Amino acid sequence: MLKEFKEFAMRGNVLDMAIGIIIGAAFGKIVSSFVNDLLMPPVGLLLGKVDFSNLFVNLSGQSYDSLAAAKAAGAATLNYGLFLNSVIDFVIVAFAIFLLIRQVNRFKREPEKVPTTKECPYCCSEIPIKAVRCAHCTAELK
């Protein structure tokens, strides 16, 4: 059983997938930091000094100055600012993956198509490439 597991784990696809997951997790952290630390502060500044990570709707009926204060008090909140940051994270990651896959597909070679039929020179019908006589007009072919 250990030998079978070793063979499974050492297959190229499994190793490629593991490497992809690790790189993807690291890339996700970089994108989250980019959105939270570099992108959203200027956007918040342009929209009237709004801190998106601190936008929330309090469901408990009491008033709290910040999301941290509401969480510390155990209040139920809808954290739409954090959700907006996550949506922007997702869009950036999805676009980066789109660009990556587009480039990979660009370098893939399409297999050459081998013709399986030819045209009869007498009746212009499609016939198998190995035919020595046309099935439509019965002409002998070279």
What are 115-129's pLDDT values in tens digits? 899 999 999 999 998
CA distance 10 to 41: 45
Q: Is the pLDDT of residue 65 over 70?
A: yes
Question: What does the pLDDT average to over 9-23?
Answer: 75
CATH number at residue 41: 1.10.1200.120
Question: What does the pLDDT average to over 97-108?
Answer: 82
| Predicted model pTM | 0.57
- Compute CA distances 14 → 8, 26, 70, 124, whole Å: 7, 19, 44, 51
Same domain, 80 and 132: no
Q: Which domain holds residue 69?
A: 2-108
The pLDDT score that the predictor gives to residue 9 is: 67
pLDDT, mean over the chain: 84
Same domain, 69 and 123: no
Domain count along the chain: 2
Angle at 64 between CA 63 and CA 68, to 5 degrees: 155
